[in-house]
Structure 1
Amino acid sequence: MIAINDLTFLIGSRALYEDANWHIKPGEKIGLIGANGTGKSTLLKIIVGEYAPSLGTISMAKDLKIGYLNQDLLSYDSHHSILHVAMEAFERQNQLHDEIEILLKKIETDYSEEILNKLSDKQQEFEALDGYSIEYRANEILAGLGFSTEDQHRPLNTFSGGWRMRVMLAKILLQTPDILLLDEPTNHMDLPSIKWLEAYLNGFDGAIVIVSHDRYFLDKIVNRIVESRKGKLTIYSGNYSFYLEEKALRGEIQKGEFKNQQAKIKQEERLIERFRAKASKAKMAQSRMKALDKMERVDDVDDDNPTVNFRFKFSKPSGRHVVRIEEAYKKYPAIDILENADGVIEKGDKIALIGANGKGKSTLLRIIAGTETFKGMCETGHNVTTTFFAQHQLESLHLDNSILEEMQSFAPKHSDTELRSILGCFLFTGDDVFKKIRVLSGGEKSRVALAKSLTTDSNFLILDEPTNHLDIQSVNILIQALQQYEGTFIAVSHDRYFLDNVANKIWFIEDKDINEYPGTYAEYEEWQAKREKAGETGGIKPAKVAKPKKEEPKPSEIEEKKKQLKKLNLQLQVLEDEIAEKEKAVKTLEADIAKEEIYSNPTKLKEVNERYNVAKESLGAVQLHWEQLAEEIMILEG
């Protein structure tokens, strides 16, 4: 499918890749991994032709259709609706649709055979390309990626960068390419959308190459791992978990080979040193020296998993109750977030706050941090000192400071040795600490901001998407840091591996209330799956302040409600029968339009088209009535 042979790519004098080889085969689902800066995104750009290799070749079939999602697409702007943008994927179908509309307009005055034949040909091609279902397919994929029906008619330029990226992903998926190249597709996605994407990619017939730092996501999808490291591409069969096991095994073998070779080299060096001064043995010594120089050296195994070797301290522990939320109300013009919500965070809680985007996770964090207005009460407990980490704090880094200077100004009580030790844990070693903030990548700035957050004298941390822009190594470091942290924290993240390894309690917003599951993320997932299977609607609630009991309805009110529900359900049944009849009529008219005796006769075609449009409008009106009635029934039943 795609063959990369002896690839070398230079950035200045530095070789990002050197004699790298990789063959992508049809149907393979590949995770392309490696630390930040090892050239993963660059490699995808080389494959699609945005960059040219310094040496080597990239070969592929001429008709290969590539779908490429990258972070540069965030800059795409349009005043069209996102449904329109997604449907731009159907280039030929859209072109045919416009041409058919023009021909139908012409046919009102021009009945020539030439126009009729053109219209017939266009309609046949449009039908062969499944043109009548393209809007349905676009609706389906946009809904899976978290867009409501109303959202789909909003202009693209009214959405934030993360949501725009989802639209571009929808457009790429609708193009049904032979191979998908996805660069961090889960960035800015909530958990429900990530799970939907997992299911979609598992059913995708073509090849997939995914650059991702989400190891759970990789485990669910890929059957091969390609590691970009030290300018080479190393291939492992299996998912990410298998890669870890296989790499550890290969590392043990390599370590043994390295030790054996080093012992042999030392032995040879001693022999050469012993005999090189003797004239009778000088020739033998020279021969051994040449053989030693030509020996292909085995590298020692580098430790790719640095450990956090310092403890986070705070001068005073908090009281038992860290935060109490009572009767909290928070509403935006378009959505209600919280209504009479209660929650308690106790000392030692490690809480993962999860849920779909738009449900109020970040809003709740800001309420807890005291930076969001709301109705109700949010009270911080005795001796609680708080640090709030959010992505916008990256903007508050002082660009002219070096990394070390930034840490010194934030944590003056720490010595330079302590600060350099902390920075070393976040992969800033040696002279790296003297780099200016302005030259750092997004991931490096995140690591600096996190290092600052974890040097504070705080016993309560609020973390909003701390894993964004972090590679797998950096996520592991953050996990170790939070596992050692003896205080309390609440974190929002879409990285399930991170959540499963740090949280002992799960919070989720449901029915405008704060709900709690007392366990790990993996246990919550298992519980939630059983809950959905059983069709339950309730959740396990946190300890709450007692609320006044709702007044029970009177028997007469209950009877009246039952009568009303019965009446509405009967009306709903009548509408459902009417919808079925009208759908049947629409399909009959669609079939008539496709008949030769109809589309070849302008008068009949015009008549059938008019009847078809009337039937569609009538069907739409009945469907709208059904939706209104169904909503009324749901309100009564609730």
Structure 2
Amino acid sequence: PPDTEEYYSYERRVRSILVGLEFSEQDWERRLETFSGGELTRISLGKLFLVDYDLLLLDEPTNHLDLESTEWLVNFLKNYKGALLVVTHDRYLIRNIGNRFWELNGGSLWDFTGTYDKYQSDREIMVKSGLRTRENLLKEIERLDAVAKRYRLWGQEKFIKQAINKEKQRDRLKEQLESVDIPDEEIRPTKFRLPQPDRTGYSVLKIEGLSFGFGNRKLFSSSSAEIHRRTKIGLLGPNGSGKTTLLKIITENLEGYVGEITWGHNVRWGYLSQLTEDLNSSNDVITEIWQMMRGQPDYEVRKYIGRFGFPGDDVFKPISSLSGGERTKLALAKLILSRPNVLVMDEPTNNLDIWSIESLEEVLKEYEGCIILVSHDREFVQNVCDHFLMIDRQKLRFVSSVEEYLRRNQRYVDSAGNEEARLSFQEKRRLSNKKKTILEKLQQLRNEEETLSKDVESAHLKMELYATDYEKLQLLQRNVEQTEGRLLEIIEEREILENDLQELSIMLEEQSRY
């Protein structure tokens, strides 16, 4: 019944989960078909958390979550009373909740117990042992094969019998070789270092009096910051706070702002975007890279591409068929060839597995240029960056660490709620009407996004159909670029509107306590 303590306890749990997963109160009344794919994933996650299961199965639960929501999820799962089976590329989550680790390799299941660090240590020992065993078996197989061939050449009966015995021994060792567990990913892309970047001036980037917004919604108001040579900046803020917008502004991909953006002496920046729209979908992998390595022999081009996880004939894959992770790797390979001394990166770990993330992390840690980075991967940000820039109430502020950012952001949310707690009835009605208007606008954007996405898919199919018609391909490519540009704008507008809804929800939720 709705008037029991059990009912109120359940309601509090529902509200806590929804707020933790970034849903505003207004979202609670929306129909499911109005939500995006990422939002539906979070809804499914929230439904699971309402029941105390004996075993909870989660597949990449941190996808579509920002740092704050990931922190909430970690705390929730740490206190979960049932067993958890989690598939994830998020090391911060694994490190905080895992005490047993299963790894699938070539049809085998490796089982490790202990902490994540112990798993990595034990795994390394196991892999080295397996590699040594395989190497010894291969040498012995080769030796026995050579002996058997030599005996057969001699042609005498007793030597033929010896040859048969050696061949049987060789075949038994081959069977043994097949049972040696060596992880598939041990054949990893060649480790490499980024080229030594050209030296910049001390001041790499100066942002002065930056103001920008969409409509009546301001993201930045007279914001200023300065970034210096060889610093590695982690840009922090909730979803919709303007992180991607700022990167687009400083890389000249977005206009209409007020203020000054000044790059320093001898700066050559390179931009890796979330959508990797710099890739030409009508090319294959090797053609895309060859255009930036003209004059170099084919084997050098293929060797370079191989470092990014495109071995053998994978270099001939059409870009249109690449997975999200492969597109990210190819975009990174292309970016490096431009030899930037400032890397601007928007969610570079999206769609990458743990091994690829760790490899990229090591490369960026050794890089001697400047980095400006946005990522929802907490451990990646903490390991790569040495400075942290927070978007805080339309201002840019430096903080000492991710932990300080989370503390300050939580204090802001709490204080904002308390300051606005005792809203008048008229003010609450005004905010409710504002929510309704935002929801209507969001629905319009979702409809437009769906239509444009279908247009892009249709255009890609036509590009394959007209693969030999250069003029038709050029026209289709221009249309795709224009459409994808509008899709980017829609994503940005939606993030801003969704952030508005979350802020309004917090204010009204605090009011409901009084």
Regarding TM over 0.5, the answer is: yes
C-alpha distance in 2 between matches for 1:311 and 1:285: 52
Distance 1:304 1:517, change over 3 A: farther
- Inter-partner Cα distance in structure 2 for 1:625 and 1:369: 38
Partner of residue 258, structure 2: 375
Residue of structure 1 equivalent to 2:227: 345
- Say if 2:390 and 2:405, in contact at 8 Å, map to a contact too: no
Contact 1:310–1:422 (CA under 8 A) maintained in structure 2: no
Find the aligned partners of 1:362 and 1:484 in 2 and give their Cα distance.
25
Secondary structure, counterpart of 2:221 in structure 1: strand
**Cα separation, partners in 2 of 1:260 and 1:481, compared to 1, 3 Å:** closer
Measured in 2, the distance between the counterparts of 1:166 and 1:301 equals 36
Counterpart Cα distance in 1 of 2:195 and 2:236: 26
2:236 equivalent in structure 1: 354
Distance 1:415 1:463, change over 3 A: farther
Aligned equivalent of 2:84, options 208, 211, 216 = 208
Matched residue SS, 2:275? helix
Alpha-carbon distance, 1:310 to partner: 5.1
Q: Retained in 1: the 8 A contact 2:206–2:225?
A: yes
Distance across 2 between alignment mates of 1:301 and 1:439: 29
Matched, 1:147 2:23: yes
Task: Specify whether residues 403 and 529 from structure 1 end up closer, same or farther in structure 2 by C-alpha distance, changes over 3 A only.
Answer: closer
Aligned counterpart for 2:399 among listed residues 503, 514, 517: 517
- Does the 8 Å CA contact 1:308/1:480 hold for their aligned counterparts? no
CA contact (8 A) 1:327 1:339 kept: yes
Question: Which segment is superposed worse, 283-292 or 167-176?
Answer: 283-292
Change (3 A) 1:628 1:306: closer
The 1:375/1:145 distance shift into structure 2, 3 A limit, reads: same
**Distance in 2 between the 1:413 and 1:343 partners?**
42
**Which of the numbers 276, 279, 284 marks the counterpart of 1:402?**
284
Give the match's secondary structure for 2:248. Answer: helix
Instruction: Tell me what 1:472 maps to.
Output: 354
Deviations 1:534-569 (A, max 9, x none): x899xxxxxxxxxxxxxxxxxxxxxxxxxxxxxx9x
Report the counterpart of residue 426 of structure 2 in structure 1: none
Partners of 2:279 and 2:117 in 1: CA distance: 36
- Bigger relative contact order, structure 1 or 2, given CA contacts below 8 A and separation 6+? 2
Q: How much does 1:283 deviate?
A: 4.0
Structure 2: tracts of 5 or more residues without a match: 414-418, 423-506
Residue 320 of structure 1 is aligned with which of 196, 199, 202? 202
Within 5 A, what are the aligned runs for 1:240-255?
A: 240-255=116-131
Q: Does 1:289 align with 2:167?
A: yes
Change (3 A) 1:530 1:285: same
After TM superposition, give the deviation of residue 133 of structure 1 in Å: 4.3
- Relative to total residues, which structure has the larger helix share, 1 or 2? 2
Q: How high is the sequence identity, in percent, across the aligned residues?
A: 35
Which moves more between the two structures, 334-343 or 139-148? 334-343
Query: What letter is aligned with 2:333?
Result: A
Q: Which moved more, 1:256-265 or 1:143-152?
A: 256-265
CA contact (8 A) 1:443 1:469 kept: yes
Give, as a single letter, the amino acid of the residue that structure 1 aligns with 2:98: V
Cα distance between partner residues in 1 of 2:211 and 2:157? 94
SS across alignment from 2:61: coil
Worse overlay, 228-237 or 435-444? 228-237
For residues 126-153 of structure 1, give each alpha carbon's deviation from its aligned partner in whole angstroms, at most 9, with x where no partner exists: 8999455443322110111123334444
Give 4+ residue runs of structure 1 displaced > 6 Å after superposition: 126-129, 529-533, 623-626
What's the RMSD between the two structures over aligned residues?
3.7
* Aligned residue number for residue 455 of structure 1: 337
Q: Secondary structure, in 3 states, of the residue corresponding to 1:491?
A: strand
Q: CA deviation at 1:424?
A: 1.2
Query: Alpha carbons of 1:432 and 1:157: their partners in 2 closer, same or farther (altered >3 Å)?
Result: same
Deviation at 1:175, TM superposition (A): 4.0
Matched, 1:434 2:316: yes
Distance 1:283 1:132, change over 3 A: same
Counterpart secondary structure, 2:227: strand
Q: What are the equivalent positions in structure 2 for 1:210-249 lying under 5 Å apart?
A: 210-249=86-125
CA contact (8 A) 2:212 2:218 kept: yes
Deviates more, 1:524-533 or 1:259-268: 524-533
- TM-superposition CA deviations, 1:416-469 (whole Å, max 9, x none): 444323321110011110111122212112211222122214222211111101
Q: How far did residue 415 of structure 1 move? A: 5.4
* Distance apart, 1:165 and its partner CA: 2.1
Q: Distance in 2 between matches of 1:363 and 1:300?
A: 47
Cα 1:476–1:142 change in 2 (3 A) is same
State the TM-score, normalizing by the size of structure 2: 0.70
Superposed counterparts of 1:46-445, under 5 Å: 130-131=6-7, 133-154=9-30, 156=32, 159-262=35-138, 264-265=140-141, 268-269=144-145, 272=148, 277=154, 278-280=156-158, 282-283=160-161, 285-295=163-173, 296-298=175-177, 299=180, 301=182, 303-309=186-192, 311-312=194-195, 317-332=199-214, 335-370=217-252, 371-394=254-277, 396-410=278-292, 412=294, 416-445=298-327
Higher alpha-carbon deviation: 509-518 or 411-420: 411-420
Provide the rounded CA distance (Å) in 2 between the counterparts of 1:457 and 1:363.
Answer: 24
Counterpart amino acid of residue 95 in structure 2: D
> What is the alpha-carbon distance in structure 1 between the residues aligned to residue 510 and residue 168 of structure 2?
88
Change (3 A) 1:459 1:214: same
Unaligned ranges ≥5, structure 1: 1-122, 519-523, 538-567, 573-622, 631-638
Report the AA paired with residue 287 of structure 1: N
| Bigger-Rg structure (1/2) | 1
Contact (CA 8 Å) 1:307, 1:480: kept in 2 or not?
no
Q: Report the Cα distance in structure 1 between the residues aligned to 2:509 and 2:17, rounded to whole angstroms.
A: 26
State how far apart, in whole Å, the 2-side matches of 1:255 and 1:379 are: 52
Structure 1 range deviating more: 255-264 or 452-461: 255-264
Find the residue that maps to 2:102 and give its secondary structure: strand
How many Å separate the matches in 1 of 2:14 and 2:350? 28
SS at match of 2:211: strand
Equivalent pair of 1:425/1:477 in contact (CA under 8 Å)? no
Match of 1:600 in 2: none
**AA of the residue aligned to 1:187:** N
Change (3 A) 1:292 1:310: same
Q: Distance in 1 between matches of 2:146 and 2:235?
A: 63
Structure 1 418/262 Cα, relative in aligned 2: closer, same or farther at 3 Å? closer
Instruction: Describe the SS at the equivalent of 2:396.
Output: strand
Distance in 2 of aligned mates of 1:327 and 1:153: 39
Structure 1 length as normaliser, TM-score?
Answer: 0.58
State the alpha-carbon separation in 2 of the partners of residues 474 and 468 from structure 1.
Answer: 11
Alpha-carbon separation, structure 1, partners of 2:150 and 2:38 = 68
Distance 1:397 1:305, change over 3 A: closer
Counterpart of 2:112 in 1: which secondary structure?
strand
Distance 1:626 1:491 in 2: 34
